[in-house]
Amino acid sequence: MKKIAIFLGVPIFAMTAAVTYIWFAHLAAPGPVEEVSFSAADGAFLTGDLYLPSGEGPHPAMVALLGSGPEVANDITYRAHAIAFARRGIAVLMYDKRGAGRSEGDYDSLTMQQVRDDGIAALEYVRTRSDIDGDRIGLMGYSEGAWFTPEIAVHDGNIAFIVNPVMPATSRGETIIYESSNELRAEAISEDEIAQAAELRRRIWDYYRDAGMASDTLDDRRAALEAEVDGVRSSSWHSHWSMGVGDYDPATYRQWMWEIDYDPAPWLVQLDAPIMVPLAEKDENIPTDRTIEILSQMAEEEGLQVEILVLPNRTHSMFRPEAVLNLGYPADYLPTISSWAAAQVEE
């Protein structure tokens, strides 16, 4: 039995070693990777990694806004993207989100305005560097970060391109409803109950919006919502998607609703820079079909310069184990998006 175990272990070890070698090759930076820090608008220092191409600068560059959660720049997903662009001659700044990893701040109190403003600070920092060509800078927004790249680009006025993997073109509220509804479906909750949960959440948001703007508790509406929430606590969906009516605080309500109502559409229609949007066909977190519909309509009616790339049979992470030798991505995914970006900044 020991001989059989040893015999079987040899190919497994060899396969693991081969995969590890290939991953290291994929993740080997073509040039220096410099740890950098810069000051956010409120004085907090954010720290990340600047991936530089080989050769002399000044280089074109890209500033990346990461996805939701306390994300850090050295995550394999982000590192793989940064290296792909650096290999095409584009420097990439990726920084740990506020309150995560090496960056200062409190992640638990992070607002979406700070996510946006930290991206602006990163862009301003990159433009101070002599090894970066300030007139050839693009943006990448990954998932959550993709909400804010169009606004940053419009305000900046000198962005060469945007790459937004798994971008939601819907408002944050509608995206949350979509994601949460899929979570309930995974728990075999009925479509009628999912609709009930979504409709109740929307009416709670309507209450926050109105009470926040009026600086009034709106007692009758609040009491009715609290009674309704109490009435569904025994439902099959409530244990999976718990909700209530938050303590009355008009300033907090206004902040919540700024974030819930945030929609990239008003910025996308003003966008002059070309944008590439890689999407996952079976994304459980963002509504791919609706995003394609919105972007396609903007391209037709507003002249949005958009290229949409749909990865078949992929979920939000875009990872599939059978593609492990390509870091889980389709073989042509990273070369395609990085080559497209490089074409936008060719001199």
90 neighbors 57 (Cβ within 8 angstroms): no
Buried b (16+ CB within 10 A) or exposed e, 173-207: bbbbbbbbbeebeeeebeeebbeebbebbeebbeb
Instruction: Give the span between the Cα atoms of 93 and 95, in whole angstroms.
Output: 6
Tens digits of residue pLDDT in 123-182: 999 999 999 999 999 999 999 999 999 999 999 999 999 999 999 999 999 999 999 999
Greatest C-alpha distance within the chain = 77
pLDDT at 195 over 90: yes
Tens digits of residue pLDDT in 283-295: 999 999 999 999 9
45-51 and 33-39 strand pairing = antiparallel
Q: Provide the whole-model pTM.
A: 0.91
> What's the mean pLDDT in 210-217?
96
Tens digits of residue pLDDT in 219-228: 999 999 999 9
Do you find a cis peptide bond into 70, omega within 30 degrees of 0? no
Residue 152 tokens read as: 């940053």
Q: Which domains does the chain have, with CATH numbers?
A: 24-169+265-344 (3.40.50.1820), 173-260 (no CATH)
Q: 268 - beta bridge partners?
A: none
Ranges 13-22, 36-45, 93-102, 179-188: which has the least confidence? 13-22
Token look-up 């820090």 returns 37
Instruction: Give me the pLDDT at residue 14, please.
Output: 44
Phi and psi at 216, nearest 5°, equal -140, 140
Tens digits of residue pLDDT in 100-139: 999 999 999 999 999 999 999 999 999 999 999 999 999 9
> For the chain, what is the radius of gyration of the CA atoms?
23
More confident residue, 2 or 148: 148
For the chain, give the mean pLDDT.
92
Instruction: Give me the pLDDT at residue 326, please.
Output: 77
**C-alpha angle 71/77/82, rounded to 5°?**
100
pLDDT band at 347 (very low <50, low <70, confident <90, very high): low
Ranges 4-18, 161-175, 272-286, 321-335: which has the least confidence? 4-18
- Positive/negative CA dihedral, 68, 73, 76, 78: positive
Instruction: Give me the pLDDT at residue 11, please.
Output: 57
Instruction: Give me the pLDDT at residue 234, please.
Output: 87
pLDDT band at 21 (very low <50, low <70, confident <90, very high): very low
Number of C-beta neighbours around residue 56 at 10 A: 7
67 neighbors 165 (Cβ within 8 angstroms): no
Q: Is 11 exposed, middle or buried, given 0-12, 13-18 or 19+ CB atoms closer than 10 A?
A: exposed
91-95 and 59-65 strand pairing = parallel
> What's the mean pLDDT in 242-254?
93
> Could you tell me what percent of the chain has a pLDDT over 70?
92
pLDDT at 7 over 80: no
